[in-house]
Amino acid sequence: MSTPVVTVHDAVVGDGTSTRSRSARRWRRARLPLALLALVVVAGILSALPEPRTSTLTLAPDNPGDLGARAAAQILGREGVDVRYVRRIADVQALAVPGSTVLVVGDYLLTDEQVDALGATEADLVLVDAGWALGVLTPALASSGEYDAAPDVRTAQCDDPDAVAAGTITASGGLLGIGPGAVVCFPAPGTTTDQGGSYAVVESDGRRVVAVSDMAPFTNEHLAEQGNAALVLRALGRHERLVWYIPSLDDVGAGGGTEPAPGELLPPVVTILALQLLLVVVVTALWRGRRLGRLVTERLPVVVRAGETTRGRGRLYRRGRSYGHAAAALRAGTAARSAGRLGLPRSAAAPLVVDAISRATGRRAADVEALLYGPPPTDDRGLAQLARDLDHLESEVHRP
Amino acid sequence: MAVTWRAVVLSALGLPVVLLVPAGGTVLLWTLLVVVACVVDVALAASPRQVAIRREVPASVRLTEPATSTLTLTNRSTRRLRALVRDAWPPSTGAQSDRHRVDVRPGDGARVRTVLVPTRRGDAHADRVTIRALGPLGLAGRQASLTVPGRLRVLPEFASRRHLPSRLARLRELDGRASVQVRGPGTEFDSLREYVIGDDVRAIDWRATARRSDVVVRTWRPERDRRVLIVLDSGRTSAVRVLDAPRLDASIEAALLLAALATKAGDRVELLVFDRRVRGRVASATGARVMAAFADTLALVEPELVETDWPGVVAQVRQRLSQRALVVLLTALDPSAVEQGLLGVAAQLTDRHQVVLASVSDPEVDALRTARTGAAAVFDAAAAERVGLERAAVAVRLRQRGAEVVDALPDDLAPRLADTYIALKAAGRL
């Protein structure tokens, strides 16, 4: 070839855009996603704002359902009682100063250490629906073990001022006063307080322990019935501060903060270092993420291999189990090539071909004819055998 | 806007600082520092849009041979341009390294070269030129992708030209110009020359001998100035891959070798690329321009997924050729396609012209035919056998209609077609 012709194109300066046009284009492109993002953020904030958080936990002060106790908590709050809702024993220990009330809801999830910690506080206790913990916290009371399904209307029948003020309540279950100083009220209808009641008070060592056998009077559903409200509000509103403690399953600490959370084990500098590392990661992402120009695409040609159709035909033969067709093809191929090698025309008749091949190979004409024009095989093995035999025959054919 | 690894290092340098003063404010301050440093760097970088770019690229290059795309960058801004430049080309142009660092003072220029070793025939268009101009700190920079037109035509490889010398030698033997004189070939009177020992005595021209004192013989030469029309079928059968290239590529190699040979032999070669319409043609080119025109036209031929219109081919041939000529059909000897198309109209071509049909056969079918590993392979072998028989049958029917059939493996097609041409010429059948 001669010296290559080189095409020289005119010089190009810039791409016809200015800073203004580029920023306008970027703004046009970005405004819709930005508007959508803003919409989502605003909607999220609006949906999060108005409703205070609620739960569905039984007797929780933020549960507005039938089994919740938000009514009682809200009334107490309005009357000036500082209601603190806690789930961890450590928080109870921190908040339960002398001159406050601790409400303990249930004792199924309490450990021995947690009950001891409750006993160690100097605050007044209100135990609702407590069983074994009752005996640990005050030896004067015990649960009668009765758990009636339906609460019934009970009268005070004692001289505790709270009980007297309430008059009647709806409750079930029973508490027994077994020690000195125990006052038991609201026995089941037709029984006396000696046989147990729903409400019991013990004053010992300058603290007051109130036990209520049933959580029904506290619930939103039953608070307004009979004198439930009076009893509950008087029992819980005795002091300025009420610690509303509902034990939780994941709080296994005995209190005192001996087991800090995993995050607290690390030195504080780690958090700051992580933030700085985040900056490094972000800058690295920006560095690697910016491509030097767009990807260049290419129109690719069709890729169909020439052998595909032949293979497809072979599969068809196999699926159709056409041993006859396959064998005929193999035989015809061998016959045509052998005939060509022996100098016969393509149009030579079958007996002529058989005769020529048998003379060239020294095989008997009948054998050659059976091989080339015999019955078709009926299975894979027969076909493979035929193919091998034909190969042998063909390899023996030489020009005479 | 783009940042570099230096910005990463700068932000990582904040780690020891944070260890010394472990407070959230340190992180915030350091982040601010990185951002401000990057923004200042970007503000001080030269504008990539104030760079004049001129591209020089060869008009054409042969497949697998290297070409160089040269960009001349002139810095028209008042700032020093430290930049990373990417000259983007499609993947098949085989650009070795298309990224270049430049450092150009204001008003100065720089030249970057990208070596392209194309692996695919056809026109390759340059993509955008991307300039990432970095600031003096090398922390961050401005980036712009600019459209700088450029086109590189990749011509067919013409690997079959290695067969050309041997075929030309045989042509010269026919021509009577070789040192060894072979008598007979050709029917056209060429010249008179002195008898040398070895010449056939029957070639002695007695009348001329009587006029002079020496014994003079006549020499003949093959006919010259015959017309050869190469018809390249770019229909669906040409798209099929044989080994690792489309069938069309082997046909193109054969067409190029035949064109080179026939031009040297003094014949006029024309080209027609056709499927359902004319995709390319070379006519009325003579001498050295023939090969250039062929390469240029064949560079752009791509297989089309349509059935070839054979009556259309015949009409085109009739329109182009008034006298007897050699018509070479580069197509596929695909039994069903030939029976449906070419076989019906072959007679219309063969009764006026010498027709040669050249087809690429598939070595894979041969491999399938002899495979005996398992029942599936035997069925495939039977199918391959059947295909071979059908091809042979179609070839026979074409020969009965007066056409020559050349069926060869991709690498053999070009020399076999050339041999056929020489044989026809020797036999005076052109």
Chunked mean pLDDT (size 10), chain B, 430 residues = 93 92 88 95 93 93 92 93 94 90 93 93 92 94 92 92 92 62 54 81 85 82 80 92 87 95 91 93 86 93 91 93 92 88 90 93 89 89 93 92 92 94 84
Of the pLDDT bands very low, low, confident and very high (cuts 50, 70, 90), residue A263 is low
Segment A391-397 shows an average pLDDT of: 90
CA pair distance A388, A394, nearest whole angstrom: 10
> Measured between alpha carbons, how far is B76 from B55 in angstroms, rounded to an integer?
17
What is the amino acid identity at position B133? A
Q: Residue A138: pLDDT above 60?
A: yes
Using a CB-CB cut-off of 8 Å, the residues of chain A touching B369 are 333
Q: Hey, which residues does B227 pair with through a beta bridge?
A: B268
Residue B420, pLDDT score: 95
Nearest to B54 among A11, A292, A336 (CB): A11
Mean pLDDT, range A357-384, rounded to an integer: 90
Q: With contacts defined as CB-CB under 8 Å, which chain B residues touch A287?
A: 2-5, 7-8
* Residues in chain B within 8 Å Cβ distance of A321: none
Nearest residue in B to A327, CA atom:
B382
Site of tokens 């080309």:
B89
| B54/A391 CB distance under 8 A | no
d(CA B227, CA A120): 118
Q: Is the pLDDT of residue A349 over 90?
A: no
Choose the closest CB to A298 out of B4, B14, B91.
B91
Whether A292 sits inside 8 A of B143 (CB atoms) is yes
Q: Which residue of A has its CA nearest to B86?
A: A292
- The minimal CB distance from B130 to the residues A5, A268, A292 is found for A292
Interface size, chain A vs chain B, as Cβ–Cβ contacts under 8 Å: 239
B150 closest CB neighbour out of A9, A296, A313: A9
**Which uninterrupted H or E stretch holds B26?**
helix B24-44
Given the DSSP bridges, would you call strands A100-105 and A241-245 parallel, antiparallel or unpaired? parallel
Give B222 to chain A, closest Cα distance, Å. Answer: 29
8 A C-beta contact, residue A255 and residue A93:
yes
Residue contact A9–B148, C-beta within 8 A:
yes
Distance CA A340, CA B384 (A): 18
Chain centroid to Cα A351, Å, comes to: 80
Residues from chain B that touch A296, judged by Cβ atoms under 8 A, are: 88-91, 127
Q: Which of B385, B406, B272, B398 is nearest to B341 (CA)?
A: B398
Closest CA to B142 of B76, B5, B45: B45
Distance between CA atoms of residues A197 and A212, nearest Å: 9
Name B24's Cβ contacts closer than 8 Å, sequence gap at least 6: A272, A275
Does the pLDDT value for residue A154 go beyond 80?
A: yes
- Mean per-residue pLDDT over chain A, rounded: 84
Higher-scoring residue by pLDDT: B53, A11 = B53
Amino acid B380: pLDDT: 93
Question: Helix, strand or coil for residue B403?
Answer: strand
Chain A CB contacts of B129 below 8 Å:
12, 293
Distance of CA B146 to the CA centre of its chain: 30
- Residue whose token pair is 């549960």: A63
- Span A295-319, average pLDDT: 87
List all residues 6 or more positions away from B183 whose beta carbon is below 8 Å from its beta carbon: B199, B200, B202, B203
Residues B70/B165, Cβ–Cβ less than 8 Å: no
Nearest CA to B124 among B57, B54, B52?
Answer: B57
| Cβ within 8 Å, pair A311-B368 | yes
Average pLDDT for A183-199: 82
The dihedral formed by the CA atoms of A80, A85, A90 and A92, expressed in degrees to the nearest 10: 40
B-chain CB neighbours of A16 within 8 Å are none
Longest dimension (CA), chain A: 136
Return d(Cα A348, Cα B265) in angstroms, integer: 41
Angstrom distance (rounded) from CA A148 to CA A156 = 18
- Chain B neighbors of A315, CB-CB under 8 A: 376, 379
Mean pLDDT of A1-16: 72
Exposed / middle / buried, residue B369 (Cβ in 10 Å: 0-12, 13-18, 19+): buried
| Closest CA in chain A for residue B14 | A276
Nearest to B239 among A269, A294, A304 (CB): A304
Q: Looking at B42-150, which runs of residues are DSSP E strands?
A: 51-58, 60-62, 67-75, 81-87, 99-104, 109-116, 122-125, 129-134, 140-146
Instruction: Give the range with max mean pLDDT: A5-14, A44-53, A155-164, A189-198.
Output: A155-164
Interchain proximity A14–B7, CB inside 8 Å: no
Strands A175-177 and A124-128 turn out to be unpaired
Measured between alpha carbons, how far is A64 from A66 in angstroms, rounded to an integer?
Answer: 7
Closest CA to B158 of B283, B304, B267, B261: B261
According to the model, what pLDDT value does residue A149 have? 60
- pLDDT reported for residue A109: 81
